[in-house]
Amino acid sequence: MNYTVNQIAAITNAKVIGDENLIIKNIAFDSRIIYSTKNTAFIAINTQKNSGEKFIESAVNRGIDVVISEHHFPQFENVTWIIVENSVEFLQKLAQYHFENAHFKSIGITGSNGKTILKEWLYQCLWNEFPTVKSPKSFNSQIGLPLSLLQINDSHKLGIFEVGISKPDEMEKLEEIFQPEIGLLTHIGTAHLANFQSEEELIDEKIKLFKHSEVIIFNGDNQLALNKINNLYSSKKLISYGFKENNQVYFKNNISKEENVIVKYFDEEISFPVHQRDEATLTNALALVTILKELGIENDKIIEKINALKAVEMRLEAIEGQKNNIVINDSFNLDLDSLKTALQFLNEYNKPKRSLVLTDILGVNSDSKALYEEVSDLVNEQKFDSVFLIGNEISKFSDLFKSKTFTFINTQELIESKHLTEIENQLILLKGARKFEIERLKDILELRKHDTVLEINLNAILHNINYHKSLLKPSTKMMAMVKANSYGLGSYEISEFLQHHHIDYLGVAFVDEGVELRKKGITVPIIVMNPEQHSYETVIEYNLEPEIYSFRVLELFYQALQKSGYDKKYPVHIKLETGMHRLGFKEYELDQLSQTLAHKNLKVQSIFSHLSSSDMPTETEFTLNQLKIFDENSTYLIEKLDYAPIRHILNSSGITNYTAHQYDMVRIGIGMLGESQNSEIQKQLRSVVSFKTVISQISNVEEGESIGYSRRFRTDHKTKIATIPVGYADGIPRLIGNQVGNVGINKTLAPIVGSICMDMMMINVDHIPNVKEGDTVTVFNTKPSLKEFADYCKTITYEVLTSISPRVKRIYVKD
């Protein structure tokens, strides 16, 4: 993309206010993650749920001088405006023009699963055959696809783009923007199926993308998709792939037994080794072979490229480091796209001091000087305190970097220099190509070095929040409960992420939890649900907002407020008792409450209550009665106050089961972590937490031998036993030993045997093929799930999460 402001206006029928000759090469849509302002315009995207125009000030403060918006805001001086009728349509129209004027071959990938993996695999296979552009990350939506297409430049000969839809009538608009020469339909699954009446309707929507494609490659194992594509697009070149032999591309041999797989491609056979043999990987391999053949790649080269494929790691890890550092580990791959993504991620943290470790960028067919000039421009805008460059190539251009810069031939040189161990209170980004093994630096810098980890997927949290928001009115606020160390996940880390994504309120149980967040830079309003009487002065000092649930608490807090000299109306939150019988004012106390509040220097920020049984269909009548009491009592109190505080009563299950009673705000807790008692809702949520460890040792135990303390388990045959380094000191209850509970190895459940020890437990791995020491063990995530693990423990998921020991290392991941 390389247009003047005037050219963009002419293409999109927009109006310009300001300098028409400015050059625009990039469009940013999120003011929080602007990593470069050079030749960048900020687009204020307005949707039904939100208005991007409220973030214009933030973008301008970051240095943006061109704004694309539906309205002109003259208070921002020295800004050039591109005024449009509809921001999303503007983006799509510009992308459509840009794509139509690009003369290159294009591949469009749609489907339910496998889009991103196949896109990345294709890029790995084809970048050195053709100058190739691809969608960054999973940019495939009504906004993501246009932003992807705008990356195309004159040097590109091939484009690989994901196209995603989540509801009817979306693909038609995307097909107007992007008409791929080769269309690929991957596996059709349950993703987004809830928004369609049937699988048939979903397939009908997906295949609209191929209206102008010359070649359509699709998974023919789905009979419905096979029939529809054959009927609708019989005049096009159609190639189906899958496990069934009626496809043009399928596996000829027994893939479960033989070392190599043999792909039958029409009349040809292609044989190559496959290390992972799960259905998804094998299906994606068939699609990959089919596209490579269609692009004219020779068989020998296809085998060579498949053998060279690297695992697609689309994740960044944030880890607590020594000396109060936070380590961002993105040592899985390195290209310009992933560098930009990593730099965006840094903006989610408020640590002002930062350092960067960066290696050579490998496998790029471009001029080194031009490449590293672009890299240094991106890095220089971040104002790192220190930059550590690793590799012969990037070290040649160290003078382009403005920060204090150090160069090293390899990672070992950097380790031996001891520079990294001197860093304190910083954000340290590790960004490198796999060859340089800079993950070794993570091992040196991290605070906790245990093999047992609790992995928290931040993007999954955001997905779950957005799903719950989709059920609400755009104006409804949301409070996230981060009490009890964010249900064991890490109070500050989760709160900082939520603050970055504009959560309205945070909720903690005790004052100390709120103080910790304030000390670490959290500025979002924080409600303290159970303020203890000795902590009221601290509440005021740290600008926390207390729950008031009785006259005693009200009077004690007011006395502390007077003593502090606070001279404004202090925000408080009034709890009403509606049937849970835990805390709160009762109906007969409301008159006295309103009179008392009228004479005190307090502002009722919100009125709320708590549902006891919103997750239980058998208690619907009771819950509706709670809602009725809340509505009547809160309405009465508001009339007495003569102003309207925020009202909220719905928790996570309340949001999904009693959406009509959302009032002004809702509170999300376990729903944010991907858990719901409603099976249909559960399908829409993403798993957030993965508790993992590794096998320390495998032993063959003879028949009749005992295992563990007290000899509570004895083998009845020669048994293979694995020991793993996690026990009751890590939060595993002893009651799930002796074959009550299971863990997962290689997607297979393995029973826990013997008594669980403080730091270890033993599992039976007799039935697990190819198991070896060092293999990953899943305590809970998908198999077993968190809910299944809680069932083993005869408790609820909340207790499982909050019981996990602080000594277990937390890793924060964005995939």
The catalytic residues are 483, 709
For the chain, the first-to-last Cα distance in angstroms comes to: 27
Consecutive H or E run containing 217: strand 215-219
Cα distance between residue 733 and residue 727, in whole Å: 8
Distances (CA, A) of 479 to 510, 526, 799: 16, 9, 21
Determine the Cα–Cα distance for residues 181 and 783; give it in Å rounded to an integer. Answer: 40
Q: Tokens for 667? A: 């509170």
Unique residue bearing structure tokens 């102008």: 212
* Bridge partners for 158 per DSSP: 105, 132
What is the SS3 assignment for 750?
strand
In terms of DSSP bridges, do strands 665-668 and 427-431 run parallel, antiparallel, or are they unpaired? unpaired
Torsion of CA 209, 212, 217, 222, to 10 degrees: 50
CB 171 within 8 A of CB 163: yes
Q: Can you tell me whether residue 349 is helix, strand or coil?
A: coil
- Cβ distance 158 to 130 under 8 Å? yes
Contact 755, 710 (CB under 8 A): yes
Asked if the bond preceding 474 is cis, omega within 30° of 0, the reply is no
Cα 665 to Cα 471, 645, 668: the distances in Å are: 13, 11, 10
Q: CA-to-CA distance for 89 and 96, rounded, in angstroms? A: 10
Q: What ranges make up the beta strands (E) of 591-664?
A: 602-608, 646-648
Indicate the residue type of 76.
Answer: F
- Residue 711 CB: number of other CB atoms within 10 A? 11
- Taking the CA atoms of the chain, what radius of gyration do you get in angstroms? 29
Burial of 340 (0-12, 13-18, 19+ CB in 10 A): middle
What is the spatial distance between Cα 341 and Cα 127, in angstroms, rounded to a whole number? 20
| Stretch (H or E) spanning 693 | strand 689-694
Quick one: residue 11, left, alpha or beta (phi over 0 = left, psi -120 to 50 = alpha)? alpha
Using CA atoms of 559, 564, 568, 573 in order, give the dihedral in degrees to the nearest 10.
-50
Long-range CB pairs of 676-682, under 8 A, 24+ apart, other chains included: 676/615, 676/652, 677/615, 677/616, 677/653, 678/615, 678/653, 680/194, 681/656
The vertex-285 CA angle with 280 and 287, nearest 5°, equals: 100
Helices (H), 388-490: 392-395, 411-417, 439-445, 458-470, 483-487
Give, for 4, the enclosing helix (H) or strand (E). strand 3-4
Q: Tokens in use for 650?
A: 């719905």
Looking at residue 569, what DSSP letter applies?
Answer: P
DSSP string spanning 640-652? HHTS--EEE---H
Q: What does DSSP say about strands 742-745 and 748-753: parallel, antiparallel, or unpaired?
A: antiparallel
* Nearest-angstrom CA–CA distance, 731 and 803: 5
One-letter identity of residue 655: I
> How many CB atoms within 10 Å of residue 644?
12
Count the Cβ atoms, other than its own, within 10 Å of residue 665. Answer: 20
Residue 230, CA atoms < 13 Å, CB-side half-sphere: 11
